[in-house]
Amino acid sequence: MVRKLINLMAFLLLVHISGLLPLNAAKADLPGLAVGTEALDFQLKDLQGQSVKLSDFRGKKVMLNFWAPWCPPCKQEMPEMQKFHEAAGNEISILAVNIDPQYNSAKFIEKMGITFPILLDGKDEVNTKYKVMTVPTTYFIDEKGIIRDKYLSAMEAETMWEMTEKMK
pLDDT tens string 124-162: 999 999 999 999 999 999 999 999 999 999 999 999 999
User: What average pLDDT score do residues 91-118 get?
Assistant: 92
What's the fold here for domain 37-166? Glutaredoxin (3.40.30)
In the chain, count of helices (H) and strands (E)?
5, 7
pLDDT at 28 (0 to 100): 58
For 53, phi and psi rounded to 5 degrees? -115, 140
pLDDT tens string 55-87: 999 999 999 999 999 999 999 999 999 999 999
pLDDT at 102 (0 to 100): 87
CA angle 142, 121, 119 (to 5 degrees): 60
DSSP string, 131-146: T--SSSEEEEE-TTSB
User: What average pLDDT score do residues 3-16 get?
Assistant: 41
What residues have CB less than 8 Å from 155, skipping those under 6 apart?
77, 80, 81, 136, 138, 163
pLDDT tens string 12-52: 444 444 444 444 444 556 789 999 999 999 999 999 999 99
Residue 39 to residues 5, 36, 71, Cα–Cα distance (Å): 42, 9, 24
pLDDT at 31 (0 to 100): 86
DSSP state of 38: B
pLDDT at 30 (0 to 100): 78
Calpha distance 33→147 (Å, rounded) = 8
CB burial readout 51-77, b (16+ within 10 A) else e:
ebebeebeeebbbbbbbbbebebbbeb
Q: What is the pTM of this model?
A: 0.83
pLDDT at 154 (0 to 100): 97
User: What average pLDDT score do residues 100-127 get?
Assistant: 92
Please indicate whether residue 91 or residue 13 has the higher confidence score (pLDDT). 91
Calpha distance 99→104 (Å, rounded) = 12
Nearest in space to 49 (alpha carbons), one of 112, 110, 7, 101: 101
For 130, phi and psi rounded to 5 degrees? -90, 0
